[in-house]
Chain A
């Protein structure tokens, strides 16, 4: 399992300095690895889970369903994310979590999480900080949806997703896997599919992105970042490990 925990360890390492011992403990958290097909709910509203899920491969979204069938996506998750670390301490799930691609997931029993966090405060703080980062991302999404226009909103979202892939070593230069549909983007940004379609076309015409065959490329990172007013500091990637390597 050690190697498949790479993305998580790599991300936590950026958030919080881990000792070799703590890294080892994190790698031992998983009880089993599962493959989940595309578009499967792994957690549903009302569930009382006994496990948390670490995403190893693929993309996952967190969402709520509205009474009229509409969907609001509240976050996208990339490899290295414990998508429901909070279910460890919350009594009941208030939202759903769905795979958007075929996913490889490491199942972490809450029992094990309890034992490890009690014995290793450093691991507890690293996971705590990771959930605080989720909170920081939600705050950015609220600002994004509430205050930016469609062009800025999509540019910001794309910058964030790219950065998350980049941090765990899954960006190929300026290209990442891109499984998101226009409906997914619309449900995440509060825009209709028609408007997302038109706005993506504007982003392409401005030479800020190219999308093709499940890949997204950012030809000019600085220009996309400026268009989305993207400042990665809310992702807290610089401080933990003392790693001064700056993102693009």
Chain B
């Protein structure tokens, strides 16, 4: 089973994945990245008006995909 690594950026804060996760395929890794982004986003930081979350998924050799989630709050009145 291939092992995928999920390096995460939460604005300027970077967390490298040293352990990795075994998943059946790259498509499972893509779904896992999407889910992880949503889980990061759910912990709202009070006062946030802009937040950029990004996960880079790599295998042992190269980066396979990048998933991003952007939160932006605009005052309208």
Name which residue of chain A comes closest to B4, CB basis: A194
Chain A nearest Cβ from B18, distance in angstroms: 8
Interface residues of B (CB under 8 A from A): 6, 8, 15, 17-19, 21, 32-33, 35-36, 39-40, 42-43, 55
Inter-chain contacts of A29 with B (CB < 8 A): none
A194 B43 Cβ-Cβ under 8 A: no
A198 B21 Cβ-Cβ under 8 A: no
A194 B15 Cβ-Cβ under 8 A: no
Give the docked Cα–Cα distance between A202 and B15 (Å): 8
30 contacting pairs across A/B (C-beta < 8 A): A149-B42, A150-B39, A150-B43, A182-B19, A182-B21, A191-B39, A192-B35, A192-B36, A192-B39, A193-B21, A193-B32, A194-B6, A194-B17, A194-B33, A194-B35, A194-B36, A194-B39, A194-B55, A195-B39, A195-B40, A197-B6, A197-B19, A198-B6, A198-B8, A198-B36, A198-B40, A201-B15, A201-B17, A201-B18, A202-B15
Considering only residues 165-197 of chain A, those with a C-beta below 8 Å from chain B are: 182, 191-195, 197
Interface residues of A (CB under 8 A from B): 149-151, 182, 191-195, 197-198, 201-202
Name which residue of chain A comes closest to B6, CB basis: A194
Inter-chain contacts of A197 with B (CB < 8 A): 6, 17, 19, 21
Give the docked Cα–Cα distance between A149 and B21 (Å): 22
Give the docked Cα–Cα distance between A202 and B8 (Å): 12
Inter-chain contacts of B6 with A (CB < 8 A): 194, 197-198
Inter-chain contacts of A149 with B (CB < 8 A): 42-43
Chain A nearest Cβ from B16, distance in angstroms: 8
Chain A nearest Cβ from B58, distance in angstroms: 13
Inter-chain contacts of B42 with A (CB < 8 A): 149
Inter-chain contacts of B32 with A (CB < 8 A): 192-194
Inter-chain contacts of A195 with B (CB < 8 A): 35-36, 39-40
Inter-chain contacts of B19 with A (CB < 8 A): 182, 197
Inter-chain contacts of A194 with B (CB < 8 A): 6, 17, 21, 32-33, 35-36, 39, 55
